[in-house]
Chain A
Amino acid sequence: MKNNDKISISAALTAATCTLLGTTALQPVQAQEDPGWDFNTSLLYYGEDNDRIQDLSLKTLSRRTFVDDRILSLGLTIDALTGATPNGALPQSFPQTFTKPSGKNTFTTPPGEFPIDDSFRDTRVAISANWDQPLGRLYAMNVGVSASAEFDYLHLGLNAKLSRDFNNRNTTLSGGFAFASDQLDPVGGIPDPLTQMRNVRDDDDDGNSGRSSTDTKEILDLVLGVTQVMSRNFLMQFNYSYSDSSGYLSDPYKILTAIDANGDAIFLPQVPGVEGPSHLNYYEHRPDSRSKHSLYAQGKYYMSGKVLDASYRYMTDDWEIDSHTVDLRLRWPIGDTSYLEPHLRFYTQTAAEFYQISLNGLNDGEPLPEYASADYRLGDFDALTAGLKFGWKTGGGNDMSVRLELYSQSGNVSSSDLIGSQADRDVYPDMDAIIFQYSYQFGK
């Protein structure tokens, strides 16, 4: 006799006995995961063109499942970053020299190129711990802490989420918050906002370095969500998120080029023996608070083995940035043990109200604005991601996948915002990047 037959006969006997005795056999309320560890690991390469940022990242997510569906998740990320990012200054038809953030030396950018400081190196280590716990039959909670450290940045955060099932577990309402307290300790200190880039080792005769050493910011996030089973093969989620940031929200390494009426950078008279910027630049300044609202909808639809994952996000904030994001993935099984997953993502955003490609009119006596930034991430741009993922089960039953994606950003600067010679040169640093990720999940 086979084992299965033994089990089914014993189950039938138990049911018959319970029926005779007028009792009900105890059944688990819901399926439970087997206790034990499982691991999700990945190696990521992210590389931008034109010698910009390169990141090699190792990530692991280790999960320990306990009885009663309690789960401990431990995350570790190590990023090794090199390369450079545009500092906000504009290309010119002549070479430009800038003081490095450290204030100890300079670098020179050839004509026609976006100024980037290529001495950037950083290592980032991030850790997280989360605890999932059912509360009774219908509630579940998740609490977690996170921390990350870079050479010039420290992050500490905590988060909590509570959810409740309704309608035969077809509807789940959830609410959560996250709080982060971050500290910046940039190389060379934090420059006073909208002050001129200093000469090398310039502490001013009055002893004022024009810099402070560290600053902080706090971020509070709230998320309310509904997950709804629409049908046997269709699931949807809707989220509303609110995010409030306060504190030092500028980028201490970003500057703006001051231009003359012809659209060219303003030349600074050079003092013999003094090393410093060749042209007039100012450090940026952003407001010290920001409120964001997001609406997010995601649908998962199963079509005879294939799964369509589509999401849309709308974000608006009080810096007057509006963005739309559409993300589409189609998981296409190949045989029983592997799949292909094409991915497309469209993103568009409007510029922050204080975004400007340069500081204009200072030569003609116009005052400095209260806030200004030329950070390309606050400009008006579109982005497209196109990628393909291939996943398969290994002989041992574990999951492996590789994915290759291309990410491309393209800025939109209105010709009416260009002054004089700016029309002849690039004013937005478009970017193409490659994302390659190898993942391995085991222990399930």
Chain B
Amino acid sequence: MIISRFVAVLLAFGVLSGCSSMGVEPWERDILAKEEMQLTTDAIEAATDDHIYFSKEASSGGRGFGGGGCGCN
């Protein structure tokens, strides 16, 4: 348990320090702030697709929670 926590902290630190060299300054966010650059541009379309594929395939989630809430699977 202690080891896995240690590994998790180490990984988090590695990710954060590795990522610190990437990125942009606050005044360089003009493109990232655009609506079409958001990770989910259309929440209803994303929810629709998640529900269709949850109902028709054996996989779900990934982008968000795998969910349930339907007798279709």
Interface residues of A (CB under 8 A from B): 40-42, 44, 46, 57, 59, 61, 75, 77, 124, 126, 146-148, 150, 152-153, 155, 157, 159, 166-171, 173, 176, 178, 180, 182, 184, 186, 217, 219, 221, 223, 226-233, 235, 237, 239, 241, 243, 245, 251, 292, 294-296, 298, 300, 302, 307, 309, 311, 313, 315, 317, 319, 321, 323, 325, 331, 339, 347, 349, 352, 377-378, 383, 401, 403, 407, 409, 431, 433, 435, 437, 439
Contacts known (A155-B68, A180-B68, A232-B31); A59 close to B48, Cβ less than 8 A: yes
Q: Is the CB of B58 within 8 A of A323?
A: yes
Q: Is the CB of A219 within 8 A of B66?
A: yes
Q: Is the CB of A437 within 8 A of B45?
A: yes
Could you list 20 examples of A-B contacts with CB < 8 Å? A57-B48, A152-B71, A153-B71, A155-B68, A171-B19, A178-B65, A223-B64, A228-B19, A231-B23, A232-B32, A235-B37, A239-B63, A302-B37, A307-B37, A311-B62, A313-B63, A317-B58, A349-B57, A383-B57, A401-B42
* B residues near A148, Cβ cutoff 8 Å: 69-70
Most chain A CB inside 10 Å of its own CB: which residue of B32, B52, B69? B69
Cβ-based interface call for B56 (8 A): yes
A298 and B36 alpha carbons, distance in the complex (Å): 14
Q: Is the CB of A296 within 8 A of B62?
A: yes
A77 and B67 alpha carbons, distance in the complex (Å): 15
Report B38-69 residues with CB < 8 Å from chain A CB: 38-39, 41-45, 47-48, 52-53, 56-69
A378 and B41 alpha carbons, distance in the complex (Å): 31
* A residues near B73, Cβ cutoff 8 Å: 251, 377
Q: Is the CB of B44 within 8 A of A167?
A: no
Q: Is the CB of A439 within 8 A of B45?
A: yes
* B residues near A239, Cβ cutoff 8 Å: 62-63
A51 and B53 alpha carbons, distance in the complex (Å): 19
